[in-house]
Chain A
Amino acid sequence: ETGVTQSPTHLIKTRGQQVTLRCSSQSGHNTVSWYQQALGQGPQFIFQYYREEENGRGNFPPRFSGLQFPNYSSELNVNALELDDSALYLCASRAVEGGAGYTFGSGTRLTVV
């Protein structure tokens, strides 16, 4: 098992810019979810991909978008960054079959100034 890796670890962007966060899921995990975690709070669901298609979205605007690739990697793109987008972004993967929990990456800390 390779685990879930995310890049970059930290990122500072200016309001209005665009950002792409990357995730490499654990081998064999066909579902990847992205979460936003504000300081001291629980993760908030952004969206989920299964077999390279989005199949669930939380209460986030369309400027949050994503992609999942056949090689278990995925991306989270955020356009027109706002100050409130500053947070820890977590990638989590799992196999759809069975009741397994997520394997999480270490996250990307995004700061918007």
Chain B
Amino acid sequence: AQTVTQSQPEMSVQEAETVTLSCTYDTSESDYYLFWYKQPPSRQMILVIRQEAYKQQNATENRFSVNFQKAAKSFSLKISDSQLGDAAMYFCAYRSAHLTSKSTFGDGTTLTVKP
């Protein structure tokens, strides 16, 4: 079974600085997707960024980028120029490339942004 591990329960960053959230996963498959989701205190989970395992290029979405290391099964999220609105719980998730696969989530990292 696939597992997702987020080893940092809590992280904090100064506004306008950069922070990196860590995620590792375990799988025997070669084709899959990885995601970072954000859950603000209002609780609706939203997709931040996704990575396809067959792509070597790291995904980027504005201030959010990932460092995908397939061999190491590592998938970290970098948030640049942190803003107060980035404060939330961040979840890393894995999904097999099979069409109807479910997603497996880590336990999350709570990010605090200090003004």
Interface residue ranges, A against B (CB under 8 Å): 31, 33, 35, 40-45, 48, 50, 55-56, 58, 88, 90, 92, 96-97, 99-107
Contact = CB atoms under 8 A, between A and B. Distances in A.
Contact of B35 (A96, A97, A101): A101
A97 B98 CA distance: 10
B107 A102 contact: no
B99 A97 contact: yes
Interface stretch (B14-22, B37-45, B70-78, B79-87): B37-45
B100 A102 contact: no
Given A42-B108, A43-B105, A101-B35, A31 B100 contact: yes
Contacts of A96: 99-100
Given A42-B107, A101-B35, A55 B100 contact: yes
A101 B50 contact: yes
A83 to B, nearest CB: 21
8 contacts: A33-B103, A35-B105, A40-B108, A42-B106, A50-B100, A103-B47, A104-B45, A106-B42
Contacts of A56: 100-102
A35 B104 CA distance: 10
Contacts of B46: 104
Contacts, number: 64
For chain B, give the interface size range: 20 to 34
Contact of A42 (B52, B91, B100): B91
Contacts of B50: 99-101
A59 to B, nearest CB: 10
B11 to A, nearest CB: 15
A58 B104 CA distance: 10
| Interface hub of B45, B97, B104 (most chain A Cβ within 10 A) | B45
A41 B100 contact: no
Given A41-B107, A45-B104, A106 B47 contact: no
